[in-house]
């Protein structure tokens, strides 16, 4: 049974997703060449989502959605930071895209989808929701990396990012599956509680699972030695995306 309090942490991500869908629909039915309102709408959505995240930061820490997510000051703080960073990226994109005649609603929509994935990622309290939210963020950034589509650099950057991102996602998912097999749960709290027994019964499974999860996250955050994709992707992506 879900209550209204279970969905309160999802309001910031819901605002971002709703604005992203509205931007994509407006692009389909757009009759004017002026797209200035798109950046305004994206910025307003980020500000509203950030305000809701700030409001949630003062709520007592609690588990929501039957333990699949958690609302605490830290997750709310990350949501505010993500919304602020996205708003700054949107404002930086206005002149950048207009100068290159590449201003489209899809760009701002993808930024908002990526921000929604980041916001939900901060709330995740188990591996399935963490993986889904991580991929929502990643798929949007794959597309944003190759957004300009002019010359070989954006295509190369998007291709490398996508291939290595899919590889890292596979590592993360397989590591999570091993930890689930060892502990019997995908929830972080239950995994932590079941680790002593799992280490005693199947130490190799726990060790390999943690190594694969660490490798998957290492690729995502470009930690050495999983950083080989970073230079080409950062060079080929549009500056606001970088």
Helix (H) or strand (E) holding 62: strand 62-64
| Mean pLDDT, rounded, for 141-161 | 87
pLDDT exceeds cutoff 80 at 30: no
User: Could you report the per-residue pLDDT of 212-230, keeping only the tens digit for each?
Assistant: 999 999 998 889 888 888 9
User: Could you report the per-residue pLDDT of 8-29, keeping only the tens digit for each?
Assistant: 889 999 999 999 999 988 888 7
In whole angstroms, give the CA distance from residue 19 to residue 85.
Answer: 16
pLDDT of residue 32: 65
| Mean pLDDT, rounded, for 129-136 | 93
* Residue scoring higher pLDDT (34 or 175): 175
* Residue scoring higher pLDDT (28 or 109): 109
| Mean pLDDT, rounded, for 173-186 | 93
The pTM of this model reads 0.91
Token pair 């505010």 is found at: 80
Q: Where are the alpha helices (DSSP H) in the chain?
A: 4-7, 11-28, 36-56, 73-99, 105-123, 127-145, 152-183, 188-201, 203-220, 230-236
pLDDT exceeds cutoff 70 at 31: no
């Amino acid at each position: 049974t879900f209550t209204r309090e279970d969905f309160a942490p999802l309001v910031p991500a819901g605002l971002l997703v709703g604005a992203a869908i509205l931007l994509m629909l407006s692009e389909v039915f757009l009759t004017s060449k002026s797209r200035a309102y798109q950046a305004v709408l994206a910025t307003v959505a980020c500000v509203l989502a950030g305000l809701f995240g700030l409001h949630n930061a003062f709520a007592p820490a609690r588990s929501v959605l039957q333990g699949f997510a958690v609302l605490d000051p830290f997750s709310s703080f990350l949501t505010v930071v993500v919304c602020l960073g996205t708003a700054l990226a949107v404002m930086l994109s206005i002149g950048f895209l207009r100068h290159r005649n590449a201003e489209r609603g899809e760009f701002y929509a993808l930024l908002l989808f990526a921000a929604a994935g980041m916001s939900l990622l901060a709330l995740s309290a188990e591996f399935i929701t963490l993986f889904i939210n991580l991929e929502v963020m990643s798929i949007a950034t794959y597309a944003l990396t190759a957004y300009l589509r002019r010359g070989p650099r954006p295509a190369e950057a998007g291709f490398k990012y996508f291939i290595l991102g899919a590889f890292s996602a596979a590592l993360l998912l397989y590591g999570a599956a091993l930890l689930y097999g060892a502990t019997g749960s995908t929830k972080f709290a239950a995994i932590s509680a079941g680790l002593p027994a799992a280490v005693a019964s199947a130490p190799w499974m726990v060790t390999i699972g943690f190594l694969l999860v660490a490798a998957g996250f290492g690729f995502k955050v470009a930690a050495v030695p999983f950083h080989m994709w970073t230079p080409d992707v950062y060079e080929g992506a549009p500056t606001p995306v970088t």
